[in-house]
Structure 1
Amino acid sequence: MLKRYPTLRYILSKAGWYFLTFIAAVIINFFLPRMGASNPVDIIMAKVGAGLDTQAAIEKEESYLKEFGLVEVDKDGNIIRDESGKPVQASSFKQFIRYVTMSLQGDFGTSFLNYPKKVSEIILGAIPWTIALQLPTIVLGWIIGNVLGALAAYRRGIFDKFFFPLALLGNAMPFFAFGMLLVWLFAIQMHLFPAIGGYAGDLIPSFSWTFISSAIYHFILPFLSIFLLSAGGQ
């Protein structure tokens, strides 16, 4: 049936890959922080635990363990303790089920690197920047890539021999690898563009020309890293 509807087959194929990518990201994001010797609570306590007395530090640590779902709790939300009075650690399976359930509900928990910010707040703050970068690069890359492809097919010769190998190279290179190459060349070696950031660190986001020009200046390298490969991959 799907052979008769190639567009539908393409959409379903893309949706399937996106779903598998989401599942893989959830699994990796859960297990990666737990592969080290410490847990998120240890990282937070190293920042906020200084100056607290022993009892206050224990209470603070237990509240974090409960918040991150690392300990067992009863139906009333109280931490379950063993015979020695220590919190009973939740199994990895229970932690994973809780994490997946919360993720499917759009609740990605609390960031332990930017505590007490919610992960969803960090994502929402990054979405406008992502759209501002991805939308023009995808649209312009598709238009210019198809125009160059048509010219290469129409005017065979030097243009075709020059453009086709570059397109193959661009199509095989990951965006992040090409981006790092551009940063190394134009930011680190030639000092023409900034290596990090969306705008100068001493500026506050506003509609002033100072901020807009700084944002455009920081926008150039990320734009080129996606645009050039998108154009070559059409």
Structure 2
Amino acid sequence: MTARLSTAFHTISMALGIALIYWWLHIPYLQTYSLQAFALIGLVYFFVKGLSKTKAWHILPAFMSIETMLATMAFLLLIGATGNTSSWFYPLTYIHLFFVIFSSRVGTSILVTMLIILFHYGLSPNLVQHELVSLLTLPIVMAFFIFAKLQHEEATKDQLIIAEEEIKLSEIEAEEFQLENFLQNFLEPKITQFEKLLEYPGNLDVIKGQLHLIKIEIEKLLSRIKAAG
């Protein structure tokens, strides 16, 4: 599993990743190699995913990990190098937002979304109307994704609570079964046996022995119930 970063370090690394790609795309010599750099970052991303031993189809970055920064750098480099907001790859921005929001804290997600908007605007200050509209849809999509994430987390918590209640119910049922088994299969026959033994005064030692046995079995039952609790 990929190491989880602190909130501050995760946020700073995301901001630095965005700043690095912005700087890269402003240098003509480096910009020439943008697609090669995109491929390299993509390979590093999947290498890190491989180190975390996740399943092959789990492409979403691990929560609060360096993977989110790598994914952000890859998306921004690909989109920025192929036309920015007019790029055929610009719709990938919404997938990128999904990755960021579901693998970051809410505060980090909001900050990164604002930085992404500034990134695209900084690359192309003279946006035409439809490009500007596309850029301004990002906060709306971000809010929707955050709402969906919070709803998902709430549903997950409810499922965990239900699962815990089911486990407790199973434990209670097991305790009830043990108690019922003790009463029906041990204590009740012993009481019947006592009734017969009491008919003869000479059976006092036998009765004491049986009472001691009952005491031992009760202690065992109580120990099992306490251990289960």
In which range does the TM-score fall when normalised by the shorter chain? under 0.3
More helix by share: 2
For normalisation by structure 2, the TM-score amounts to 0.26
